[in-house]
Amino acid sequence: MDSMSHTVITTSTTGRTSGDGMLNLGYTRTIPGLLKIGQMVALLVAFLCVRCARGWPSWAAFQFFEVVSLWFFIAFLLFFLMHLFRLQAKMPCFNWPLTEFFHYSVGVVLVCIASIVAAVKAGGVSALVVSSVFGFIATFLMAVSLWTTYSVSCGPHQTGAVV
């Protein structure tokens, strides 16, 4: 008679992993997540430096800088929360990589222009100089995100052609 033996191995884990449930905490440790955190911090610091500065040499230039930095801070905060709470999967009617690509494209241009104008019009006011520096840091981080988003959403595709 043939006897067959079976071995059963059971494993158990304690605690929750970052992939469980509604909250995706693992996103905060990814390159796109860290870039978004860096962008939000840089834009918030840039906005607060302009907001708290006294004696703006050019009212229109720094109003533009405030609007641009606050708008993209809020936009990137919303994208960050969408990834953190996995909301993009619940709203499949949007092409999220393309939406982020569009926001990064516009953001790089507008924040860079606002930072250049702020740097030129700072007039030696240290808080305004610091705001333009953080604007340039945010521009760099957005350009990196734009490049990585582009390589994901619009990168090279297999054509099937033999070279």
* Cβ pair 42, 110 in contact under 8 A: no
Answer yes or no: is pLDDT of 149 > 80.
Answer: no
Q: What is the mean pLDDT of residues 102-126?
A: 94
Tell me the CB-side half-sphere exposure of residue 113, using CA atoms within 13 A.
Answer: 9
Span 52-85, pLDDT tens digits = 988 888 889 999 999 999 999 999 999 999 999 9
Helix axes 96-121, 126-153, angle to 10 degrees: 160
Answer yes or no: is pLDDT of 10 > 60.
Answer: no
